[in-house]
Amino acid sequence: MYERRSELTGGHNLRRLLALTAAALITVASAAAQSTLSNAVSGRATATVVAERLDHPWSLAFLPGDGPLRMLVTERAGRLRVVTADGKVSAPIAGVPSVHAVNQGGLLDVAVAPDFAQSRRLYLSFAQAVEGGARTAVVSARLADMALTEVKLIFAQADIVAGGHHFGSRIAIARDGSLYVTTGERYVAKDRAQALDSHLGKVMRINPDGSVPKDNPFVGKTGAKPEIWSYGHRNLQGAAIHPVTGKLWTHEHGPKGGDEINIPAAGKNYGWPVVGYGIDYSGQKLHDSTGKAGMEPPVHYWVPSIAPSGMAFYTADRFPAWKGSLFVGALAGQHLARLTLDGERVVAEERLLGERNERIRDVRQGPDGYLYVLTDERNGKILRVSP
């Protein structure tokens, strides 16, 4: 199991599995996929440990201000901390909602409101335990000193599924202030990604107070959840707003092969599980084909899977060679992918930090122009990365 195993286990067994099944996976990929794989090159980057001893950190967000750099970091077990540029890790912030910290579930993404300096508003996504199972949920809250106040549930999946897999979930804030929230299909309910009366395997778009934007594509459509922006996704763990076009870009885990980058458009269907480039964990055929009328093809995909997590566009002037690149963390691949773009096409891929043999959970551009990544380990680290 590429994605599930990459989430739950580490290094040696997964690398052996990758080696044993890579040939089989390539046989189900198109010529384009094989070309994409062969074009990936190994590169070098410098990584400095900023902080460590974080328990499976999942997301980070930088706090605004003119003083020393500070960042919020989530730990999957349910802790939110402040970390400073000199590596000081705070005690857990009080007031974080209880989380379903089972397998891939727990405290997930953190996003800071654009007006945080005035409002102190932030958003958290997490796996929430409810009767009958768990669901992906989002709260808004105010950060007051070292506690969250005014905690409000602004989104919760209507679907309740048992188990601890495929919750998503990233939050990306659009230029108009609305929130894109990504969800997973929860693994055992993959067909629900195609159902418009379900929140599973979707990109949602909501207002900061949890209300539904009036121009969402399924508002007023009978049998459809109005929060849905796009559908037919699997397990989305990367989301970022393009710095020039303002469009949402996402990536999602495939099964054995077929991780995808998409640019989700309003009301569009991205195919899971009908079309794709992977195969089932059993080795059997999973998809009808790699494409179908009415289903959007990916911008980029990986065969074998790298198990992507975290996504950031690099816009700073500090490292001109990286400007305009898209960075994606890799869990199974244990590297940081730098993708060179030509408009909305990926034209080259460079793989960085592979020599560290660490699972990359998140990547963000810092206000100082460096990249910061999280490693997904019991002794998780924050790394500051430069060419």
Residue 362 tokens, joined = 């998140």
Which tokens sit at 186? 């929860």
Which of the residues are catalytic? 166
Going residue by residue through the chain, which has 387 residues, state the pLDDT in tens, using 9 for 90 and above.
444 444 444 433 433 343 333 333 333 333 343 335 446 899 999 999 999 999 999 999 999 988 899 999 999 999 999 999 999 999 999 999 999 999 999 999 999 999 999 999 999 999 999 999 999 999 999 999 999 999 999 999 999 999 999 999 999 999 999 999 999 999 988 899 999 999 999 999 999 999 999 999 999 999 999 999 999 999 999 999 999 999 999 999 999 999 999 999 999 999 999 999 999 888 889 898 999 999 999 999 999 999 999 999 999 999 999 999 999 999 999 999 999 999 999 999 999 999 999 999 999 999 999 999 999 999 999 999 999
Phi then psi for 147, rounded to 5 degrees?
-145, 150
pTM: 0.91
User: Is residue 150 within 8 Å of residue 121, measured between CB atoms?
Assistant: no
Contact 283, 264 (CB under 8 A): no
**267-285 residues labelled b (16+ CB within 10 A) or e (exposed):** ebbbbbbbbbbbbeeeeee
Residue with token string 């059993």: 282
CA angle 118, 124, 125 (to 5 degrees): 155
What is the pLDDT at residue 18?
39
CA torsion sign for 355, 8, 17, 299 is negative
Secondary structure (3-state) at 117: helix
Measure the CA–CA gap between 104 and 167, rounded to whole angstroms.
7
Give pLDDT, residue 312.
98
Per-residue pLDDT, 31: 36
Domain boundaries in the chain? 2-386
What CATH code is assigned to 2-386? Answer: 2.120.10.30
| pLDDT of 9 | 40
Alpha carbon distances (Å) from 40 to 59, 305, 338: 26, 13, 10
How far apart, in whole angstroms, are the C-alpha atoms of residue 359 and residue 333? 7
* Kind and range of the H or E run holding 218: none
pLDDT of res. 190? 87
**Residue in the block written with tokens 């460590």:** 52
pLDDT score, position 67:
85
Looking at residue 117, its amino acid is A
Write down the pLDDT at residue 189. 84
